[in-house]
Amino acid sequence: MLTKRILLTAPVLLAFSLPATADEWPQWRGPSRDGIWRETGLTERFPAPQIDLVWQADIAAGYSGPTVADGRVFVTDRLDDPKQIERTHCFDASTGEPLWTHAYDCNYEIHYTAGPRAAVTIDDGRAYSLGAMGHLHCYDAATGKLLWKRDLNTEYEIRMPVWGIAAAPLVVDDLVIVMIGGTDGACLVAFDKKSGGERWKALDDNASYSAPQIIHQAGQPVLLCWTAGSLAGLDPTSGKIHWQVRFVDRDTSMNIAMPVLHNNRLFLTSFFDGCYMLNLPPDRLQASQLWTRVGQNEKNTDGLHSTMSTPLFDSNYIYGVDSYGELRCLDAATGDRVWEDLTAVPKARWGNIHFVTNGDRVWMFNERGDLIIARLSPSGYEEISRAHLIDPTEFQLRQRGGVCWSHPAFAYRHVFARNDEKLVCANLAADQDDTQ
């Protein structure tokens, strides 16, 4: 296993200086794993149909989105010639210069072999990378030195999901928690984040692809985990189950989107099973179902049958992308459809868009590689500006000319995105002279 510095070529178009005050994107869906971008001083409209790149760097195929912390960008990919290898990369955020790469042998026994799924999680100077076959690595984020590793498929006899391990590692205090679907009550496993030693394991469920998260209920942190067969709230320090709501347990789960919480209501959506609204009482550790909307099948859907896209839950309304690329608004009280729109996402099976909120605007990255600034309201979809960021490629999906399915990162008033060939960075600051 080699860790090499300056392994890849990175044609630098224009470097930038990091702003004195700026947000980072150290894990899946941002600092709080909630898809909220809190930076200010951003552009109101794109000046041209094509977004100029600050830099681009060569990478290989992979579904994992980039993450950004401490002036570095992290991403994973896969090579399969002459042998199958997964890699974790680190780049300089301002220039795109490759800083280090760690490669390891990894033979895939899953469908859709384009590469790793889970975003790298950065915490306290360490980078945690979880591969599609269950290889967990902890690196020194600055140097790439391997601090510890675990082969979770071998150790926990994972009931491997059809599309592999996808949920990004979650760091909570001194633990790093992963969902892997291991046997003997090891769907979730928590490790000491410094040593890699096992601290606890929980749940007998098969793994899904939805990343675990921390919410707060009854005055305490609760680990929220949506598996292939249930939604569970656990004590993150011990793995003790506070409550568990059972759903359809499918051999081929497509629970991918994260559950989204607003006040004491929790919304879930999946490709096969439609959507559910749960009640999480604020004064006690319980959960119960309020309503559900399930269509006749994935081609005739009621409510919202999302594939990969985690929806937005804004007060009394929910905005999300259905399984054939239709942007929809639902009434959160009932699940009734308020409107639908085909402007932002091309109509296609598994059509996808990623939402990130910033103030009263929503930044939307669709599978054609377009970045859109919009407003979403019960009145409809209002597009403010749109420009092309990166071309779709065919390793992730060879239909319809390829896709961009990886979630971008938003940090330092820039966007970082990838396809199966490039990692790119573009400036989104209102006054670009301040950040270049």
Per-residue model confidence as pLDDT tens for the chain (436 residues)? 444 433 444 444 457 777 656 799 999 999 999 999 999 999 999 999 999 999 999 999 999 999 999 999 999 999 998 999 999 999 999 999 999 999 999 999 999 999 999 999 999 999 999 999 999 999 999 999 999 999 999 999 999 999 999 999 999 999 999 999 999 999 999 999 999 999 999 999 999 999 999 999 999 999 999 999 999 999 999 999 999 999 877 778 899 999 999 999 999 999 988 999 999 999 999 999 999 998 655 567 889 999 999 999 999 999 999 988 999 999 999 999 999 999 998 888 889 999 999 999 999 999 999 999 999 999 999 999 999 999 999 999 988 899 999 999 999 999 999 999 999 999 999 987 544 4
Running DSSP on this structure, what letter comes out for residue 403? B
SS3 call for 226: strand
Q: Where are the beta strands (DSSP E) in 249-390?
A: 260-262, 265-270, 274-279, 288-293, 312-314, 317-321, 327-331, 337-341, 353-358, 361-366, 370-377, 380-388
Distances in whole angstroms, Cα of residue 346 to Cα of each of 329, 357, 433? 17, 21, 35
CA distance 372 to 386: 4
Q: Rounded to the nearest 5 degrees, what angle is found at the Cα of 280, between the Cα atoms of 279 and 281?
A: 110
| Joined tokens for residue 77 | 């990919």
- Beta-carbon contacts of 379 under 8 Å, excluding residues fewer than 6 positions away, are none
Query: Among candidates 147, 118, 148, which has minimal Cα distance to 133?
Result: 118
Q: Rounded to the nearest 5 degrees, what angle is found at the Cα of 15, between the Cα atoms of 10 and 16?
A: 140
By residue range, what is the domain housing residue 205?
2-434
| Joined tokens for residue 252 | 């081929």
- Count structural domains, the chain: 1
CA distance 100 to 4: 5
Please report, for the domain that includes residue 116, its CATH number.
2.130.10.10
- Report pTM: 0.95
Instruction: Give the number of other Cβ atoms within 10 Å of residue 276's Cβ.
Output: 22
